[in-house]
Structure 1
Amino acid sequence: MKRLTTHEIRKLWLDYFAELGHAVVESSSLVPTNDPTLLLTNAGMVQFKDVFLGLEKRPYTRATTSQKCMRVSGKHNDLENVGPSPRHHTFFEMLGNFSFGDYFKKEAIQYAWNLLIHELELPLERLWFTVYTEDDESEQLWIDVGAPPERVLRFGKKDNWWAMGDTGPCGPNTEIHYYWGDLEKQTAAGVNRDDEYLEIWNLVFMQYDQKADGTLVPLPKPGVDTGAGLERLASILQRTDNNYDTDAFLPIMQRIQELAGHTDEERQAHLFRYRAIADHSRAITFLIGDGVLPGNEGRNYILRMILRRAARFGKLIGFERPFLAHLADTVIELMGGHYTDLPPKRDFILRTITEEEERFHRTLSTGLNMLDDLMARLREEGRSEIDGRDAFFLWDTYGFPIDLTRDVAAEHGFTVDEAGFQAALAEQKEKSRASSVQGKYAPDAAVYGELLGNLQEAGIVGREGVKHLIYENVAEVSTTVAGLIVDGQSVEEAHAGAQVEVVLPETPFYVESGGQVSDTGEIYYFPEGMERPAWTVEVTDTRRPIPGLIVHVGRVTSGTVRVGDPAEASIDVERRWDIMRNHTATHILHAVLRERLGTHVHQAGSLVAPDRLRFDFTHSQPLSGEELRDIEWRANEIVLANYDVHTRWTAYKRAVQEGAMALFGEKYGDEVRVVSFGEEDKVSMELCGGTHVNSTAEIGSFRITSESSVAAGVRRIEAVTGRHAERLIEERFRQLNRVAAILHARPDEVEQAAANLTEQNQQLQRELAQLRQKLAQQEVQQLLSHATQVDGVAVLAVQVEAPDVDTLRQMTDWLRDRLGSSVVVVGAVVGDKPMLVAAATPDVVQRGIHAGNLVRDTAKIMGGGGGGRPNMAQAGGRDPAKLADALRSVPAWVQAHLN
């Protein structure tokens, strides 16, 4: 058996299949492109899904990859096993080979056998092969290549059947297992049952199309989809019984030990936490590298959850300061040779990790204290489950993730009512949802696929699909109506007033992509000799529902349109020019941001519309007014330089090597379009499929309208150009003149006049604040009379009107100082939540009173919680109507806890 590094295994795999005629396809992003069914790429076949479904054609019929994968959501969720398990990961690499109607079972099994037995030299006496119980062919093929018949086992659908979904491509699969244990003890009964039998490769044979009624229809061109775990193969070839002792993880774990200053014994004592941290450091590095940023929903939440889980494990093994960026640096060093996009993003990745880790440390202490108090109370009550609403309160009020609540609870022998948490979360979302918009009816993909297939068979549309004329500089084409879809069904005609999707053999309409919105316009038929069109369709959107097919979405405004009619397709030219100005301006803005702020800036989203542009970019700090002025000035310099805008098509790898920028999350083919200007000055070169002006001066003017934050580490600039910029400038001058008139000043005196007015207002506000403070002090004097005596201690629990918690604290301090030996609890409804602040004098604390425990128990009456120090604490609740009841309970609580 060979001994190979992880990098050598990956290279051997790709080279082996390349020699067998497979195209070596780069790993796709962890963020699936145009696939709303997946949050993250979880298998090698994801980037080929449309190929297997027959919706997309590639220039090759067989391929091989080493695909980045994440399994932390849905049915493929390995998070709970990461750390304790020797081979489960959130992030891993899946090696694969694929056939798209080319070879099938015989070749796939032969290729696998040769690779494992002859290339990697795995011992046959440790290999087992499983097939679907009814798949006689696969069983015989394994025997034919040399597998002993007693090592080829049959299993049912649970183990050896694969399906893309409830309907669609499916078929039997065959798996290869490696036995780790004592050769004398291996038995057929252990396969798929015993952890010593490691599944290393799964060969899926997509042989059938499963219909809704369960019928299996043979596919005309069956395919092959295989997946082998790189880390699992590495554990075998490096003679270790777990993935974490391979070269994929050891350098990261050694770095953890170095940073923590641990001995080997201390590392072993924290082994599963070391493993989890090492795994998570790889996951967060690649997620951020693929453009995912920490957030509260979807894949952004997954990143935040994994990062914070790693940070908490780090705290448990002794880290008091952020450390994960150091591990990400090690990951980049380890894997940047193959994943060459990682090193250029190093600074951004490390900065994003550190900022999120610092943010989490601020949250962690408060949440852990609250959770500790909660578990202590539950333990006293003999309960072992944390109520879902308590878990939700921790998340909603203190930002403490449910996943960490679950982990901490498990470590202390508690469970969490997660159904209750989800119910509380759903309730909150329902309350905050102001309105919901029903999505438009969308036909099934099969309708589009059938229509495209029919048009291609009839020769109306070429094999490549609808001819897209967006780069031919035409605004109108003469064509024919090739197809119509109304209410999700293909029809022969559509009447005035109908919402319709029109298919043409060729079109000048741009289809929304890369942030640029679709063109609008008209499709009409103007018969010769007639004074007006026979029919007209107003086009409001253009879509590409499946590869090769473009539909023009709109409404029939007059007449009856029929399949086969001649037609003129005309875009709104003025609108297109506005869009082109804004699109070229986004390239200028991107270049200027990188020039002025640093090369860590990358596009993180955009919108190119006719009336504005919106550009999201990676940067951790708000931009100052001076920076925005400088960026706007530099952008207009580039506009006025009148650089010619060049476009060309070239190979993807060549374009990137020449310095063209590729964007996070975008899907690129082998041939790409490069848009550039100012080559000699190295202004801008990007991969882009959008439409652009011919020279930068055609943009007219560039004006920034806003700058804001959209997520952790992501800023947003909105701007206008051309006609809309001129309108903005004109309106701003009008506003200036109107304000000048209001202030009785000349336009050039407005700034000083406004400053004088502001100073006057601030002085009045200070006087008003002083007056309010005096009134509050007077109210405090009146409240003192409500204090009662409990065993020699003054106890005051009152409800007041207060705008915020700070005012509550001030009032509590005043009351406590005036009462002497006392316990003071002041409550108010702040916003829509009841809040409590409690204070106790030192002598009362010595007698057993703990303000944190007091508000914790009292807040329960309001459906909330809280805590704090013995002498000062605060709490919140959910039910304002219960605030009075909570305050009335204070004297009895003090009586019960005084020593």
Structure 2
Amino acid sequence: MKSQDIRKQFLQFFESKGHLIVPSAPIVLKDDPTLMFNNSGMAQFKEFFLGNGTPKSPRIADTQKCLRVSGKHNDLEDVGFDTYHHTMFEMLGNWSFGDYFKKDAINWAWELLTEVYKIPKENLYVSVFEGNPDENVPFDQEAWDIWKTLIDEDRIILGNKKDNFWEMGDQGPCGPCSEIHVDIRSAEEKAKVSGKSLVNNDHPQVVEIWNNVFMEFNRKADGSLEKLPAQHVDTGMGFERLCMALQGKTSNYDTDVFTPLIEKVEQITGLKYTSNEVKNISEEQNKTNIAIRVIVDHVRAVAFAIADGQLPSNTGAGYVIRRILRRAIRYGFTFLNTKEPFINKLVEVLADQMGEFFPEIKSQQQLVTNVIREEEASFLRTLDQGLQLLDNVVAKTKGNEVSGEKAFELYDTFGFPKDLTALILKEKGMSFKESEFDASMKAQKDRSRAASEVSTEDWKVLIPGNVETFVGYDQTENEVKITRIRKVDSKKDGVLYQIVLDNTPFYPEGGGQVGDKGTLVSANETIDIIDTKKENNLILHFAKQLPENIEANFVAKVNTDLRTSTSKNHSATHLMHLGLRTILGTHVEQKGSLVNPNHLRFDFSHFAKVTDEEIRKVEDFVNQRIEEQLQLAEYRNIPIQEAMAKGAMALFGEKYGDTVRMIEFGESRELCGGIHVKNTAEIWHFKILSEGAVAAGIRRVEAITGDAVKDYFTQQESDLDAIKETLKNPQDTLKAVVSLQDDNAKLKKQIEQLLKEKAKGLKGELASKLQDINGVKFLAAQVDLSPEGAKDLAYELGTLGTNLFLVLATAEEDKPMLSCYISKELVADKNLNAGTVVRELGKYIQGGGGGQPFFATAGGKNVAGIKEALEKAVDFVK
């Protein structure tokens, strides 16, 4: 049975049981501050389990893209070494929100596995929660009794809290679970050892495929449990493991989920992957297998994350994606001998394979390919730099053991995992102190953990059962009551209070727009609201203090000055999006945005620099729409199909419901929940401040509107007046500046000529100072020249012989610069490298640099360090 058919049968089965089939949520979470990625099937339904929203149906089924690479659920380091762990995986799930419970969930799971998929019953084991007296949670007798009617008792296993009690987090809904495990070993192996003894013992062919979670309790901040008012079912079945069981394989990677990708890697590298059926393979082949598994797993995670809007970067979720991709590149570089970008070529295979069910990977194929290719090229360059640094560390190491701190520096700066460093050192007959590396790693993690520690108290509920309403589209102040509060203490922000109101005019951060600020005003006091965010369908108002009387009547007042400026920038963002698509082409799509009172930032897909002329055209396009005084047309709660039929743009990576809000200004139509002006005339004027690249195929524009534009033009006028005054108020300012530039260019040429002549004069003087050290003509000296002059002088001295090692220092305008020249014959014969020399000596002037093996430069900021740098230069030839 092909994987596509396995997925379809699951969804069709639960559709026949009255379940609504819903699409996968994006793998990247944008509206849940507690999670970086969607790491389980239930993540998109959290608000329903918490009672903060109502699902479209009490019965739902889906397949959810999941990513487990950070935090509590982190499988990254296992991936590749075994046959069943993955970074990105699909979780097939069926859900009951206060509807059916254990009996139906267990019976349907058994029916699907044994009657539809026809897995032999003798290959299955199940587990039931054994109870936990310390937490006053009883043995799950109900689940045990249900399973007894379906399977022999000797195939039912009692599981502990770790394996059979599921929790959303330290607080929140939780409950016992019943897992289903499949034994896919050969008959011969089964005869030797009972599968029951191998359950939950990390055996690669006795694996959990389905987990039925029965949410009965709520975990409070003090660790105690209370019964939930409604009971829910949350199940998850690993799609890749299910395919392994149904396709008669003993490895997920031998299923058709992965084989097309593996075949592409084989084609590119010329190396072969051996299936799990092949035994007694060589150590070399095992390394090849691991590397290929890492690559075909990781490209799925990275590709879907990029398709859902998360670009690789140096912070947050973007850093995690970059780290996954770099792990794949490094395995290819080390074990498959791939020195050029190649992982991007797998995207086409992935899109053909999964595009039917996940259309985002097909529609974003070109962008994903370009981003991965650029990341590969960049990291391969970084690897090369890291290898040079490692060579330098080895050269300075006495004995055969490198410092663990140095190995960690390679990891921290260049992304070198310790196993790569160990491998390279082993080839040189060396090693590094792992204990020192681990200590450095632990210290970094401890610092990071300490910085992000958060303590959250339970909600104090003042008005039970209230469903908060947002009234901010129509009002900026409203009479309100506080319905619940909680205290949050973090190292980063200190003590803050989260306040929920019965209704609110405050817009919570979302869609790129920052949250509103303002006040809560009662008869006796005023509380500042410093931010507004949304979490699990609750609008949270952040304050540094609570009102003395939390049960009082309040008026919630939005800071209208900030709100007005923000709305101008948000509406201008929509107009600019249309302008970019009109002028650059319809391939332009939003890939990120920030809208605040001060400015707007907009990331979009485009594969070339936007020219100055194109920027002017975009500005003119937006300003023309402002002058046309377009009235806002707002469509609230309209069916998404109707909005799309009207031409509304939907953004990839966003989660939309059945009904949406559409914002229309003339021909600009977008699905958007943000705050906007009523008429484009309110924007006043639009000005682009900058344009540049943020990733391969992604450009960024920053712009301003309204009062910020007035301030900008005022500053421009002031600067022009200052320039005129400096130039003695010429009649034609532009002509005067051009004349000044011409004069400057002529003077520069004259100075360059004088410096060249000066350098020639120095040639003879310095030639007499050359020292013979170990057969090398050596000189390290400071010269009163420009860096360009020092280079010319170095090349002039280079004509004197074939064994010159020269370091010249300059300090023009108190900016220290080191130039190293090494005769090409010395580079080859003595293994000297000018780039390595300047990187090392550059530390003394608090800087760095690089270049070619025979000539390199390093700049810095510590002129006083020149003397020591020149003194240390001789060490390279001694």
Instruction: Return the TM-score normalized by structure 2.
Output: 0.83
Matches within 5 A, 1:139-538: 140-141=144-145, 143-186=147-190, 187=194, 188-193=196-201, 194-211=203-220, 214-260=223-269, 270-315=288-333, 317=336, 319-371=338-390, 374=393, 381-383=399-401, 387-392=404-409, 396=413, 399=414, 401-402=416-417, 405-406=420-421, 408-409=423-424, 412=427, 444=456, 446-447=458-459, 450-451=460-461, 454-456=462-464, 463-465=466-468, 467-471=469-473, 473-477=474-478, 479=479, 481-482=481-482, 505-520=502-517
User: Among residues 748, 752, 772, which one is paired with 2:735 in the alignment?
Assistant: 752
Conserved 8 A contact 2:82-2:204 = no
**Partner residue in 2 for 1:700:** 684
Where do residues 534-683 of structure 1 align in structure 2 (5 Å cutoff)? 541-544=531-534, 547-549=537-539, 551=541, 553=543, 569-571=556-558, 573=560, 575-648=562-635, 649-652=637-640, 655-656=643-644, 659-678=647-666, 683=667
The 1:241/1:809 distance shift into structure 2, 3 A limit, reads farther
Contact 1:475–1:573 (Cα < 8 Å) also in 2: yes
* Cα distance, 1:260 vs structure 2: 4.1
Amino acid at match of 1:100: F
Aligned pairs for 1:60-99 within 5 A? 60-99=57-96
Aligned position for 2:135: none
Q: Distance in 2 between matches of 1:698 and 1:857?
A: 55
Call closer, same or farther: CA 1:56–1:778 in 2, change over 3 Å: farther
Aligned to 1:108, the other structure's residue is in SS state helix
Amino acid at match of 1:672: V
Shift of 1:263: 7.2
Q: Read off the aligned partner of 1:579 and give its amino acid letter.
A: T
CA contact (8 A) 1:367 1:394 kept: no
In 1, the alpha carbon distance for the partners of 2:816 and 2:124 equals 65
Q: Say which SS state the counterpart of residue 463 (structure 2) adopts.
A: helix
Opposite residue 685 of structure 1, the aligned amino acid is R
**Superposition deviation, residue 483 in structure 1:** 6.3
Question: Which is further off, 606-615 or 242-251?
Answer: 606-615
Change (3 A) 1:150 1:659: farther
Matched-pair contact (CA < 8 Å) for 1:816–1:841 = yes
CA distance in 2, matches of 1:191, 1:565: 57
Query: Once the two structures are superposed, what CA deviation does each residue of 1:58-108 show, in whole Å capped at 9, x if it has no partner?
Result: 344343221111222334333333334222222111112233343333222
1:689 corresponds to which of 649, 666, 673: 673
Q: CA deviation at 1:588?
A: 0.7
Distance 2:863 2:238 in 1: 55
Deviation at 1:751, TM superposition (A): 2.9
Cα distance change, pair 868–486 in 1 and its aligned pair in 2 (3 A) = closer
1:230 is displaced (CA, Å) by: 0.6
Question: Aligned letter for 1:247?
Answer: D
Contact preservation (8 Å) 1:445, 1:546: no
After superposition, the C-alpha distances for 1:284-303 in whole angstroms (9 at most, x for unaligned) are: 21011111212222322222
Give the Cα separation in 2 of the matches to 1:827 and 1:172: 71
Going from structure 1 to structure 2, the CA distance change for 1:841 and 1:201 (only over 3 Å counts) comes to same
Counterpart residue identity of residue 472, structure 2: I
Rate the CA distance shift 1:389–1:35 in 2: closer, same or farther, 3 A. Answer: farther
Of 801, 806, 811 in structure 2, the residue corresponding to residue 824 of structure 1 is: 806
- The residue aligned with 1:494 is none
> Mean alpha-carbon deviation: is it higher for 844-853 or for 659-668?
844-853
Equivalent residue letter for 1:788: Q
Q: How does 1:758-837 map to 2 (within 5 A)?
A: 758-772=741-755, 782-790=765-773, 792-798=775-781, 812-818=794-800, 821-825=803-807
Report 1:8-87 matches (<5 A).
8-87=5-84
Q: Which residue of 2 aligns with 1:105?
A: 102
Q: Does the 8 A contact of 1:91 with 1:280 survive in 2?
A: yes
For residue 530 of structure 1, what is the aligned residue in structure 2? none
1:836 and 1:855 in contact (8 A); partners too: no
Conserved in 2, the CA contact under 8 Å of 1:617 and 1:714? yes
Give how far 1:690 is off: 1.5
Residue pair 1:523, 1:538 contacting (<8 A) in 2 also: yes
* TM-score of the superposed pair, with normalisation by structure 1: 0.81
Q: Is the 8 A contact 1:113 1:145 kept in 2?
A: no
Distance (Å, rounded) in 1 between the aligned partners of 2:446 and 2:733: 47
Relative distance call for 1:856 and 1:225 in structure 2 (3 A) is farther
The separation in 2 between residues aligned to 1:284 and 1:831, in whole angstroms, is 47
Contact 1:69 1:94 in 2 (8 A): yes
Farther off after superposition, 348-357 or 316-325: 316-325
1:181–1:307 distance in 2 versus 1, CA, 3 Å = same
- The 2-side partners of 1:858 and 1:549 are apart by 54
Deviations 1:486-515 (A, max 9, x none): 9879xxxxxxxx999876544434333323
- State the one-letter code of the partner of 2:307: G
| Cα-to-partner distance string for 1:256-284 (whole Å, 9 max, x where unaligned) | 33344567899999433333222222122
Q: Secondary structure at the match of 2:36?
A: coil
Structure 1: unaligned runs, 5 residues or longer: 458-462, 490-497, 526-532
Deviation at 1:757, TM superposition (A): 1.9
Contact 2:818-2:842 at 8 Å conserved across structures:
no
**Distance between the aligned counterparts of 1:738 and 1:868, measured in 2?**
41
Deviation at 1:235, TM superposition (A): 1.5
Per-residue CA deviation, residues 564-597 of structure 1 (Å, 9 max, x unaligned), is 6665555455654443332211111111122223
Residue deviations 1:785-836 (CA, integer Å, cap 9, x gap): 54333355433345678887x7776555444444664443557899999997
| 3-state SS, counterpart of residue 322 of structure 1 | coil
Q: Is the 8 A contact 2:68 2:88 kept in 1?
A: yes
Please say if residues 483 and 502 of structure 2, whose CA atoms lie closer than 8 Å, have aligned partners that are also in contact.
Answer: no
Question: Could you tell me which amino acid in structure 1 is paired with residue 470 of structure 2?
Answer: H
Structure 2 residue runs of 5 or longer lacking an equivalent are: 132-138, 275-283, 490-494
Asked whether the 8 Å contact 1:543–1:553 carries over to 2, the reply is: no
What SS does structure 2 have at the residue aligned with 1:203?
strand
Counterpart CA distance in 2 for 1:776 and 1:426 is 53
C-alpha distance in structure 2 between counterparts of 1:538 and 1:845, whole Å: 67
**CA distance in structure 2 between the aligned counterparts of 1:570 and 1:319, rounded to whole angstroms:** 60
* Deviates further, 124-133 or 585-594: 124-133
Letter in 2 for 1:674: M
Question: How big is each residue's C-alpha offset from its partner over 1:1-36, in whole Å with a ceiling of 9 and x where there is no partner?
Answer: xxx222222222222223323333322222223333
Instruction: Find the residue that maps to 1:365 and give its secondary structure.
Output: helix
Per-residue Cα deviation, 1:547-574 (whole angstroms, up to 9, x for no partner): 3455485899xxx985666655554556
The alpha carbon displacement at 1:244 in A equals: 1.9
Change (3 A) 1:536 1:353: closer
